[in-house]
């Protein structure tokens, strides 16, 4: 049976285990399936140049920043990220352009027997699809974002020319471990023999783990903070100006990547690009970076991270969904002047919800909701848990209803925040 694009997606959602919807039961703790899939496809990953990116937070941002910088130089850049917000095809892009619907449906139709034989997860299929697509289009470079962890993530089938780890924080403990050291070990699994690794942030608990793994694998380890110096020279609600310094760099850029958490991501991305130039993997024209960087979000289709949806009232959607992400979010809130704070919040049922809620401000009106996925935590349960931490508000049947209620209640000088889950943000934007 030949399926069109819509029918293909329905078949995939119905037939394949999906972590985003089901949680850990859909996570495959080995690489057997992805190796078998790629073998059946003729190993499309073998003839591509990759930059591999892992980390608890920021890996999507770093992926988009690196891709945007490379695109500004005229390079053809493939990018694989997950999960998607609005459109499945967001996961697989070349120069910001989505994979075609026809390619997706043709791939599944052509390889259905292989898929049924191997019985992979949804994520494993999307990785295989991405690799097949990139091999067919032959971009100059591919930026590949890890889905979950690193060591056992399906993207770890690739042999990159550079690996990047953004940071380490608590998330997905049931899969990755209950300590930062255990989580770092899993993320450090992307470090390959003789492949340089850039780590975005110095962290006391994790630095030695990455150094140990890198030494064992004879991989050169660099810390982004030791390579790139960044300072904010001007800031307004729409753009900020940044001074970028490195051994051979000294230039200013404007960007709409707002939120202080993005400063670390920008440092990490520029450290990666700096290494590529030193190794003569790319030729860089700084003037082209300056010209294009302010349009990076549009050029790479970068959404869901500190995304301003409206100015009156100021309405911001941010995908903060774990301890580190929420800490950055609340820190940013302290820098905004507003009359009253309205928070539209939902989460999934396998997070440390009590810990998450404790990090949000008490002085706010809350609008509790559940994204339309099986993993979503019931809004009334979330409301009850929130009350235990002195956060009060109403529960709503959907994200749209909660968001609409917040907009009705807020005046032009108020602030509306949508957070707690990628899936909540996806339904709001």
Residues 90 and 164 in one domain: yes
Judge contact between 65 and 257, C-beta under 8 A.
yes
> Has this prediction a pTM greater than 0.85?
yes
Number of independent structural domains in the chain: 2
Residues 12 and 98 in one domain: yes
CATH number at residue 416: 3.90.190.20
Query: 189-230: per-residue pLDDT in tens?
Result: 999 999 999 999 999 889 999 999 999 999 999 999 999 999
Q: Residues 7, 12, 13, 14: is their CA dihedral positive or negative?
A: positive
Residues 262 and 323 in one domain: no
| Boundary-marking domain end, from 250, 282, 300 | 300
pLDDT of res. 364: 97
- Give the angle subtended at the CA of 146 by the CAs of 144 and 149, to the nearest 5°: 160
Residues 77 and 17 in one domain: yes
Residues 373 and 322 in one domain: yes
User: Which residues pair with residue 348 across a beta bridge?
Assistant: 376
Please report, for residues 48, 110, 339, the alpha-carbon distance to residue 36 in angstroms, rounded to integers and kept in the order given. Answer: 19, 16, 57
pLDDT of res. 170: 73
Q: What is the domain range of residue 164? A: 5-300
Residues 314 and 288 in one domain: no
Model confidence at 19: pLDDT above 70: no
Residues 296 and 324 in one domain: no
pLDDT of res. 259: 82
pLDDT of res. 241: 95
pLDDT of res. 175: 63
Question: b/e string for 205-227 if b means 16 or more Cβ within 10 A?
Answer: ebbebbeebbeeeebebbbbbeb
pLDDT of res. 335: 87
Residues 94 and 179 in one domain: yes
pLDDT of res. 14: 84
Residues 251 and 398 in one domain: no
pLDDT of res. 414: 98
Residues 331 and 287 in one domain: no
pLDDT of res. 17: 74
| Angle between helices 59-72 and 286-293 in degrees, nearest 10 | 120
Model confidence at 20: pLDDT above 60: no
Model confidence at 1: pLDDT above 80: no
Of the candidate ranges 16-20, 223-227, 363-367, 389-393, the one whose mean pLDDT is the lowest? 16-20
CATH number at residue 210: 3.40.1190.10
| Boundary-marking domain end, from 243, 276, 300 | 300
A 10 A CB-CB count for 123 gives 26
pLDDT of res. 172: 62
Model confidence at 173: pLDDT above 80: no
- C-alpha 388/C-alpha 383 separation (Å) is 9
* Of residues 173 and 76, more confidently modeled: 76
Model confidence at 89: pLDDT above 60: yes
Residues 198 and 316 in one domain: no
Query: 390-415: per-residue pLDDT in tens?
Result: 999 999 999 999 999 999 999 999 99
Residues 56 and 148 in one domain: yes
Query: 92-144: per-residue pLDDT in tens?
Result: 999 999 999 999 999 999 999 999 999 999 999 999 999 999 999 999 999 99
pLDDT of res. 239: 84
| Boundary-marking domain end, from 300, 319, 335 | 300
When pLDDT is cut at 50, 70 and 90, the band that residue 29 belongs to is confident
The first and second tokens of residue 226, run together, are: 């030791």
């Amino acid at each position: 049976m030949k399926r069109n694009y819509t029918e293909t997606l329905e078949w995939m959602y119905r037939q394949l285990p999906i972590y985003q919807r089901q949680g850990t039961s859909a996570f495959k703790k080995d690489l057997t399936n992805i190796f078998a899939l790629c073998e059946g496809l003729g190993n499309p990953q073998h003839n591509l140049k990759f930059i591999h990116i892992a980390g608890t937070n920021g890996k999507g941002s770093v992926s988009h920043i690196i891709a945007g910088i490379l695109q500004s130089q005229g390079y053809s850049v493939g990018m694989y990220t997950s999960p998607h917000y609005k459109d499945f095809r967001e996961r697989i892009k070349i120069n910001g352009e989505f994979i075609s619907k026809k390619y997706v449906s043709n791939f599944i139709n052509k390889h259905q027997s292989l898929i049924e034989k191997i019985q992979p997860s949804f994520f494993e299929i999307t990785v295989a699809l991405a690799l097949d697509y990139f091999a067919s289009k032959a971009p100059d470079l591919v930026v590949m974002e890890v889905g979950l962890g690193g060591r056992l993530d399906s993207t770890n089938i690739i042999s990159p020319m550079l690996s990047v780890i953004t940071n380490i924080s608590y998330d997905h403990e049931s899969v990755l471990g209950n300590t930062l050291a255990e989580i770092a070990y899993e993320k450090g699994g992307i470090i390959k023999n003789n492949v340089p690794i850039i780590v975005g942030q110095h962290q006391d608990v994790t630095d030695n783990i990455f150094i140990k793994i890198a030494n064992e694998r004879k991989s050169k380890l660099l810390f982004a903070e030791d390579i790139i110096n960044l300072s904010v020279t001007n800031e307004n609600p729409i753009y900020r100006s940044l001074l970028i310094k490195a051994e051979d760099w000294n230039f200013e850029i404007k960007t709409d990547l707002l939120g202080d958490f993005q400063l670390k991501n920008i440092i990490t991305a520029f450290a990666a690009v700096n290494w590529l130039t030193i190794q003569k993997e790319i030729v860089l024209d700084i003037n082209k970076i300056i010209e294009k960087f302010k349009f990076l979000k549009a050029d790479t289709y970068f959404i869901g991270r500190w995304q301003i949806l409206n100015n009156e009232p100021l309405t911001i959607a941010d995908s903060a969904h774990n301890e580190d992400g929420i800490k950055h979010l609340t820190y940013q809130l302290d820098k905004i002047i507003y009359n009253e704070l309205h928070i539209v919040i939902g989460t999934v049922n396998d997070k440390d919800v009590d810990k998450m809620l404790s990090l949000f401000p008490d002085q706010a009106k809350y609008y509790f909701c559940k994204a339309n996925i099986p993993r979503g935590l019931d809004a009334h349960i979330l409301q009850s848990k929130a009350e235990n931490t002195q956060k009060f508000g109403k529960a709503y049947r959907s994200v749209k209803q909660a968001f609409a209620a917040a907009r009705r209640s807020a005046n032009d000088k108020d602030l509306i925040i949508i957070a707690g889950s990628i899936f909540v943000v996806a339904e709001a934007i």
